[in-house]
Amino acid sequence: MIYITQLIYVIPGQENVFDAFEAIAIPIIAKYNGRLLFRVRPGNDAYIAHHIDKPYEIHLVEFDTQQDFDHFKLDEERKKFLHLKEKSIKVSILIQGKVVKPILTFLYIED
């Protein structure tokens, strides 16, 4: 399982174009063994602290394998509408990760 977190910064005034792209791209995720776990559009009161610009949206997606994610990015139907993404997104930050099981450690202190 791999996880993709994306911070998306939309060009002001292009929100509807961005939504049109998402309406096409999001359903394609499932075609490649992926799941949109959440799509958040946080308001200003959602931030406790920040040292970068606040993103317009935050997505968390999981794919079964790296190959599934790579195939999603190359999907022909999605590629037909990339012009909407390019027109509406100023920048996006993609963070890829995987689940790491915690390691239990014990600290023994002698008196």
Note whether residue 105 is domain-resident: no
Residues of the domain holding 11 = 2-97
- pLDDT given for residue 100 in this prediction: 77
Residue 49 CA to residue 65 CA, distance in Å, equals 33
- pLDDT number for residue 101: 75
What local confidence, expressed as pLDDT, does residue 99 receive? 79
- Please report, in tens digits, the pLDDT of each residue of the chain (111 residues total): 999 999 999 999 999 999 999 999 999 999 999 999 999 999 989 989 989 899 999 999 999 999 999 999 999 999 999 999 999 999 999 999 987 776 666 666 665
Whole-prediction pTM? 0.83
The helix (run of H) or strand (run of E) holding residue 21 is helix 15-31
Here the CATH number for the domain that contains residue 37 is 3.30.70.100
- How many structural domains does the chain have? 1
